[in-house]
Structure 1
């Protein structure tokens, strides 16, 4: 019986890892902006940046709300299929349309694809016992790495050796998305969920929902009533906001720096290097023996400050290779520190509330990204800055984040010094000498 269970568990792991690899295998994504410039050449850079790309952010923010509300009620698996379907629709629409509205709708599906990641990880944890969380997390990360790194290497090789053009890369991505959709249909369903389908002995629909919302509220209060947890969660959300924004608009920045369609570009190679470096950073974070309770603010400050200066350099450099290096270092720092932040948050929340807490943190990150996009990128509400000025703002954003944690660190240091002085001024009770005869 035990052998059968182990075989079924390993089969489940393999099926999830296969889906993970397929959904991350998107060679066209590393050259997406170059493809759009060719496919929709009548629009130009400004239209794509101001009226197309922002819709991905807006859609993702709205979709995270829907996912947080319904992910547990609908028992996860349908969301897994929805991820693959969204990727298929988005890729198909940008390939076979030539008008602005379908392209904008495709960005909505791209945003949906990204937002459903919350449901994907919740599904993984719901299907395994807590004792296998570390195993399934590490293997899932490895599958994500394999998909993204393989995509970057393959795309760069096909473009550099002129085997395929930007459009033809989309056929590979579309095929992978279709395969992921079919694969998702055969993933095992979840019979019990964390909140709404936790206990089948509930007598009524009303009692079941009342119990679910009560447990969600309990997890929420426990997760965000801890000041230490709030400190790491705020950085997690703001740093994720900055990283996603930098990642989404990096290809337009490289295009502006190169400004020559005939020059060889290395987007795929850069993304592959960043993916591997991010994985190594995550591994490094896992083995570092540091007391983050006393040195956390220093780590967050240094990381944010370095990221800010790197983006300021990237916004001004006339050399695309310098920008490549800046992006790799920026992403490597993010992956290293976000792993530490995620670990510190996980230590201070209920084990079953991972999906809820990180889903809320993701929502906060996307809300901040939406505000940043409205102010910096769009022209209807914001300033519609050119791409170099946008990255100057992103650099200032990270520098400002660093100064916030400098202030938090100084406040905590002064508080600890004050507590130490109070403790040292307390007169200890007199000791009694006991004489024995």
Structure 2
């Protein structure tokens, strides 16, 4: 019997709150380009700020993903806290391009370990509490980020506190997070390995549909024979094919991956845009307040979407298409306007819309899958999003073919931000979405006329008794073995 869920959940929420309570983060660009670091905008754009984070996140995701389950989560959470502390120590006390790059790389190691934070609690509480502890864990992160942004804004606006001292406060909060991580109870089982049979059991009793468990099994058992490795890869390929064979699931997965890429590109560079829009004299920055309000409004939008009574299987694609086009217009307005206040408002609207749309994608994907396949699909989506982010960064930032080098002129910086934001959304996603929306509407009308209008996408609530899955198992015994529970 697992220990009480209250203690581990409280400690994990304290860790999530304190690790995200970073008052200095909304002012990171100003800190790097200001008198503390004396880096140029070109250095921040091409060398220090975003490219290092984008590339390192991509390459660190898979090894951290594997080590997390093998080490049973807590050591990875402690390592995440240590990485954050070391990164901010370098931010505060180091100088120069190379050390700033090291700080950002170490920071990326911490962000790559987020999977441990969201997975840990499932290994120490009973499944009946999963929904509750998930909401608490995510709520703690959201509250911590909002509190940090608001605290930073108040200290800068009302107290006249420098960004240097905001970094000191952030470092103190991270030390408290490290203490909470050390107090977390060590899980007695692994989500993947804990549910497996003995090492001599058949293949279908050893592996599950989790992306991690496939590779863990490969490392532990498959390494003994080449045939075992090939079987593991074959089963992984079969499971991926089944998950993405549904057009509806594939559509929302594509949007989720590309939306995640675009969101991080925009949030990563928006501070440079704000710096180019704000008045040069007698102006107090409100980056922290904008981030706090945008985060809260995004959370409210996500909750509101969950209470909207709408047949998302029919209208979900149309909603995504319309609001993605609206997002493109908002981003375009951010580039055209010379008012920092309009720019702030557009960013808040953008973040609110994105949070609502990504929520729609998430629960639409979840409704079409069994619970055992969540890790595989969402893991693949995250990896694809990071790969696209790295590719876009390499093409737009680190190549001369597009001639997007940053100059000291404000106009050129605005042009580069504009291309990052506006190019991504309106030229690919809306076209893809509109075509799918028309296909969905026509299909819905046809089904209504022929009496098939009640046919819907499979729901995860009835995944254990679905006749379609039973038929698939009967006709495809190879695929049925991939549905082993975690």
Conserved 8 A contact 1:31-1:267: yes
**Given the superposition, is the C-alpha separation of residues 235 and 74 from structure 1 closer, same or farther in structure 2, using an over 3 Å criterion?**
same
Answering whether residue 126 of structure 2 is matched by residue 106 of structure 1, we say no
**Given the superposition, is the C-alpha separation of residues 79 and 334 from structure 1 closer, same or farther in structure 2, using an over 3 Å criterion?**
same
Partner residue, 1:331: 351
Cα deviation digits, residues 199-240 of structure 1 (max 9, x gap): 363348999976742586675444323221111111111111
User: How many aligned positions are there?
Assistant: 420
Unaligned runs of 5+ in 2: 215-231, 406-411, 453-486
**Given the superposition, is the C-alpha separation of residues 192 and 39 from structure 1 closer, same or farther in structure 2, using an over 3 Å criterion?**
farther
Partner residue, 2:243: 223
**Higher alpha-carbon deviation: 106-115 or 66-75:** 66-75
Conserved 8 A contact 1:312-1:396: no
**Higher alpha-carbon deviation: 88-97 or 257-266:** 257-266
Conserved 8 A contact 1:377-1:383: no
**Secondary structure, counterpart of 2:193 in structure 1:** coil
Deviation at 1:415, TM superposition (A): 4.7
Question: 2: distance between equivalents of 1:112 and 1:79?
Answer: 10
Answering whether residue 83 of structure 2 is matched by residue 55 of structure 1, we say no
Question: 1: distance between equivalents of 2:358 and 2:184?
Answer: 29
**Given the superposition, is the C-alpha separation of residues 192 and 223 from structure 1 closer, same or farther in structure 2, using an over 3 Å criterion?**
farther
Question: 1: distance between equivalents of 2:396 and 2:101?
Answer: 19
Partner residue, 1:434: none
Conserved 8 A contact 1:20-1:143: yes
Partner residue, 2:255: 235
Deviation at 1:78, TM superposition (A): 2.0
Partner residue, 2:425: 398
Deviation at 1:125, TM superposition (A): 2.9
Partner residue, 2:135: 138
Question: 2: distance between equivalents of 1:101 and 1:261?
Answer: 32
Deviation at 1:413, TM superposition (A): 3.6
Structure 2 length-normalised TM:
0.80
Question: 2: distance between equivalents of 1:325 and 1:16?
Answer: 33
Partner residue, 1:184: 181
**Given the superposition, is the C-alpha separation of residues 61 and 392 from structure 1 closer, same or farther in structure 2, using an over 3 Å criterion?**
same
**Higher alpha-carbon deviation: 172-181 or 313-322:** 172-181
Deviation at 1:94, TM superposition (A): 1.2
Conserved 8 A contact 1:224-1:230: yes
Unaligned runs of 5+ in 1: 425-437
**Given the superposition, is the C-alpha separation of residues 379 and 221 from structure 1 closer, same or farther in structure 2, using an over 3 Å criterion?**
closer
Partner residue, 1:370: 390
Partner residue, 1:412: 440
Conserved 8 A contact 1:312-1:391: no
Answering whether residue 249 of structure 2 is matched by residue 252 of structure 1, we say no
Structure 1 length-normalised TM:
0.88
**Higher alpha-carbon deviation: 234-243 or 374-383:** 374-383
**Given the superposition, is the C-alpha separation of residues 325 and 375 from structure 1 closer, same or farther in structure 2, using an over 3 Å criterion?**
same
Partner residue, 1:430: none
Q: CA RMSD in A?
A: 2.7
**Higher alpha-carbon deviation: 349-358 or 295-304:** 349-358
Question: 2: distance between equivalents of 1:296 and 1:327?
Answer: 24
Answering whether residue 45 of structure 2 is matched by residue 45 of structure 1, we say no
Partner residue, 2:474: none
Deviation at 1:419, TM superposition (A): 6.4
Question: 2: distance between equivalents of 1:274 and 1:117?
Answer: 22
Conserved 8 A contact 2:65-2:113: no
Answering whether residue 63 of structure 2 is matched by residue 66 of structure 1, we say yes
